[in-house]
Amino acid sequence: MKRLSVPVKNLVIEWRHKPNLAVYTKMDQIGIHFADNYPDWQRSPLTLEIRNKKSKRRFFMSYRRCFFEVIEPTDNDVGGELDRARKLFDRFSGDLVISKLERVGIRQWAAFERDEPFNEVVRRANRKFQPQDQRFVELLRGNVVDVGYVADVRTEQGWNYRLHVGPMEKPQWFEIVPHEEGMFSSSEKLGEYRKAFPDRFLFVDIDCFKEDVAVSDLPALVSEIRSTSSKIMTDLHKYYQED
């Protein structure tokens, strides 16, 4: 598949499984195996999180779930980040002998930068994504200053996603989208990241998931979700721009 240029800023993939106490004897071994690429550890008696602060990645392990997160995927290559996540999970599921997942989820937050004034972004998004029936407009009894569209969707392939799309400004992003300061090498680096972030943009949050998944079916499912979600985000932005 030709990689679509989608400005994904944050990515999380989470795997949930039945309680597995073997994690307490295996998680340090897993961390050591990946220590070259994830040298920073956050350890508790019940969990282990390994981090690469330079690339803003982390992998979290506990007795019934694990997750991989990256802020600002390298070269905007979400597929490459999912491959990195797969290698981590392959080792985790292999060491813990996990063959079935209760749930797998892939969530992406994208920011399509816009040059027009924010009130124009709101006006266009409102026109494209909200009802324009005059009666509905009158019920609001005022002028729309911000707007968002939310939908829960079940795909024909059997997985689901929750979509949130709308205009957004920089301060809103850092209020809504989680940013773990420990993923950055310093507070100064986090400040630089905030400063360089677009001032206004079309926000797309797409949270895809499926329950009761065999580990052997993961590669095909992740590929399908990645391909379809990229097309959805790209098409939403194109639709927003159309007159």
Query: pLDDT class for 1, splitting at 50, 70, 90?
Result: very low
pTM of the predicted protein model: 0.94
CA distances from 140 to 14, 33, 143 (A): 39, 57, 8
Specify the residue for token string 């292999």: 94
Query: pLDDT class for 208, splitting at 50, 70, 90?
Result: very high
Q: What one-character DSSP code corresponds to residue 122?
A: H
Inter-residue contact 9 to 71 (CB < 8 Å)? yes
Inter-residue contact 229 to 108 (CB < 8 Å)? yes
Residues 201-212: what's their mean pLDDT?
A: 98
For 8-27, write each residue's pLDDT tens digit.
Answer: 999 999 999 999 999 999 99
Residue 41 CA to residue 58 CA, distance in Å, equals 9
What's the pLDDT at 133? 78
Instruction: Check whether 4 has a pLDDT greater than 60.
Output: no
Between these two residues, 50 and 3, which has the higher pLDDT value? 50
Q: Phi and psi dihedrals of 140, rounded to 5?
A: -70, -25
Instruction: Check whether 143 has a pLDDT greater than 90.
Output: no
Inter-residue contact 57 to 38 (CB < 8 Å)? yes
Handedness of CA 193, 194, 195, 201 (dihedral sign): positive
Give the CA radius of gyration of the chain: 20
Half-sphere exposure of residue 177: CA atoms within 13 angstroms, side-chain side: 29
The domain limits of the chain are 8-241
Give the rounded percent of residues in the chain with a pLDDT score beyond 70.
98
69 DSSP β-pair partners: 12, 58
Query: pLDDT class for 5, splitting at 50, 70, 90?
Result: confident
Least confident of 8-12, 46-50, 76-80: 76-80
Cα 33 to chain centroid distance, Å, stands at 25
Burial of 121 (0-12, 13-18, 19+ CB in 10 A): buried
Residue 73 CA to residue 69 CA, distance in Å, equals 10
Quick one: angle between helices 23-33 and 78-96, nearest 10?
A: 140
For 87-123, write each residue's pLDDT tens digit.
Answer: 999 999 999 999 999 999 999 999 999 999 999 999 9
Instruction: Check whether 138 has a pLDDT greater than 90.
Output: no
Q: Where are the beta strands (DSSP E) in the chain?
A: 8-16, 40-43, 48-52, 57-61, 65-71, 100-113, 149-154, 160-169, 200-214
Residue 70 CA to residue 56 CA, distance in Å, equals 6
Residue 157 CA to residue 149 CA, distance in Å, equals 23
Tell me the Ramachandran region of residue 231: left when phi exceeds 0, alpha when psi lies from -120 to 50, beta otherwise.
Answer: alpha
Least confident of 143-152, 188-197, 227-236: 143-152
Query: pLDDT class for 62, splitting at 50, 70, 90?
Result: very high
